[in-house]
Amino acid sequence: MELFVDGKRKSLRHSGDISALLKKLGVRREEVVVKLNGRLAPETSEVGAGDKVEVIKVVFGG
Amino acid sequence: MAPVKCSKCGSDAMIFLHYVRRHLCSRHFREMFEKRFRSTVREFGMIKKGDRIAVGLSGGKDSTVLLRCLHDLSDDLPMELVAVTVDEGISGYRDATLKIAKKEAKKLGVEHRIVSFKKDVGKSLDSILGKDGSLACSYCGVLRRGLLNRTARDLGADKLAMGHNLDDAAQTVLMNVLRNEPGRISRFINPAIKHPSFVPRIRPLLRTPEKEVAIYAMARGIRIEHKECPYARFAFRQNVRRQLNEMEELHPGTKFKVLGSFLAMDWMMKGAKAKDTELAVCSSCGEPASGARCRFCEMMEQIRS
């Protein structure tokens, strides 16, 4: 799995859904959106080997 | 892995709404989003046919989505739109969203007025604060609201539309409970404030979670600037936001419930709170004030001294 958090590549082994991945990353689900293979995806989506996952922070103070 | 499917049509889902346990595809999410936007406008009687609406357009996702949705709504509910942007003068932060605001207003053919702290207050926010950013949100909030109100009034607006979403509303309710400032909660949503100089605020995204605003923006190809205000870390709101988001994750629907509780209490207290919504006239500038002088004039005095 290729993983990017706010554009930065991260190295992490994960199999399961996106919610569990976000927990592993210590990211609050309410503050990010996730693209799976280039498309917005619900956190219930399963991810695995060969997938590209992008976690993008969208909730900011200001 | 096989994509998760939309609960309504079986197409690939793009979002899971945890608070109703429903998956939606792009088309059904947009439909739900726009229906809720319109029903919120109706529920609070926010806009009347022919109203001139000033939209506070920072160029961030919330105000940009707000302008787009109001522009769409104007096909069915005729209204005049004018956008107002306040440039606070925050180096490395506001420039990018200012560009988006200009581009968006131009694209929609909406009149756009830009005002700035530097020109209209005399100093940028960065210069007012110097090295101490701890009071940033106090200065910024008072001065920005003051400039938005004055500009909206100068432009002859009947209402001032703000991009505040459900997260902002739930945070505001909790912040004011935690600070023991019930009068301020009542003023946040209550449209009953009547004052000749005050342009009433409307918040059509009041029932829309912030994350959904972002997803809607992305689904419509609206550019989002992924930057946080450099002063946000000083804000009390930041702590409340974090706590609320953790609660929402554990108990989906928490933000709706916080807002719902407030609205129910607001309704129950209608008679008792009349005093809180009466505003005085500032003895220095004639703007609305909660005391003898408005906070804008008090801050201007501090800035100039």
Which residue in B209, B219, B229 is closest to A62 by CB distance?
A: B229
Q: Extract the tokens encoding B106.
A: 């131009």
Q: Which residues of A touch B246 (CB under 8 A)?
A: 28
Residues 6+ away with beta carbon under 8 Å from B82: B52, B53, B54, B55, B110, B111, B112, B113, B155, B157
Query: Residue B3 and residue A28: Cβ atoms within 8 Å?
Result: no
pLDDT band at residue A13 using 50, 70 and 90 as cut-offs: confident
A56 to chain B nearest CA, in Å? 9
**Is B186 part of any domain?**
yes
**What average pLDDT does this structure show over A49-54?**
93
**Is B212 part of any domain?**
yes
Q: Is the pLDDT of residue A14 over 60?
A: yes
Q: Extract the tokens encoding A3.
A: 């993983």
Which residue of A21, A30, A53 is the best one to mutate when testing the B interface, meaning the one whose CB has the most B CBs within 10 A? A30
Q: How many structural domains compose chain B?
A: 1
Using only C-alpha atoms, chain B has a radius of gyration, in whole angstroms, of 20
Q: Which residues of B touch A58 (CB under 8 A)?
A: 61, 210-211, 214-215, 224, 226
**What average pLDDT does this structure show over A16-30?**
95
Residues 6+ away with beta carbon under 8 Å from B221: none
Q: Which residues of A touch B140 (CB under 8 A)?
A: none
Q: Extract the tokens encoding B163.
A: 């991009």
Q: Which CATH architecture has domain A2-57?
A: Roll (3.10)
C-beta separation of A45 from B12 below 8 A: no
Which residue of B14, B98, B250 is the best one to mutate when testing the A interface, meaning the one whose CB has the most A CBs within 10 A? B14
3-state secondary structure of B116: strand
State residue B244's pLDDT score.
Answer: 97
**Is B297 part of any domain?**
no
Nearest-angstrom CA–CA distance, B256 and B169: 9
Q: What percent of chain A has pLDDT over 90?
A: 79
Nearest-angstrom CA–CA distance, B29 and B43: 21
Residues 241-300 of B with CB under 8 A from A: 241-242, 245-246, 248-249
**Is B303 part of any domain?**
no
State residue B251's pLDDT score.
Answer: 97
**Is B110 part of any domain?**
yes
State residue B104's pLDDT score.
Answer: 96
Nearest-angstrom CA–CA distance, A3 and A7: 9
Q: Which residues of A touch B248 (CB under 8 A)?
A: 30
B52-56 and B159-161 beta bridge pairing: parallel
A28 touches chain B (CB under 8 A): yes
Q: What is the ipTM of this complex?
A: 0.95
State residue B271's pLDDT score.
Answer: 56
B167 to chain A nearest CA, in Å? 10
Spell out the domain ranges in chain A.
2-57
Can you state the percent helix, strand and coil of chain A, rounding each to 5?
Answer: 20, 40, 45
Q: Which residues of B touch A46 (CB under 8 A)?
A: 1
Which residue in B16, B227, B235 is closest to A43 by CB distance?
A: B16
Q: Which residues of B touch A56 (CB under 8 A)?
A: 226
Contacts A–B by Cβ distance under 8 A: 85
Over chain B (305 residues), the average pLDDT of each successive run of 10 is: 91 97 97 98 96 97 97 98 96 91 97 96 92 86 95 97 96 91 69 77 96 96 86 87 96 97 81 62 88 89 84
Which residue in B1, B23, B211 is closest to A58 by CB distance?
A: B211
**Is B281 part of any domain?**
no
CATH number where B147 lies: 3.40.50.620
| Alpha-helical regions (H) of B220-289 | 236-250, 254-268
Domain residues for B51?
29-270
Q: In this structure, what are the phi and psi dihedrals at residue A6, rounded to the nearest 5 degrees?
A: 50, 45
**Is B21 part of any domain?**
no
**Is B119 part of any domain?**
yes
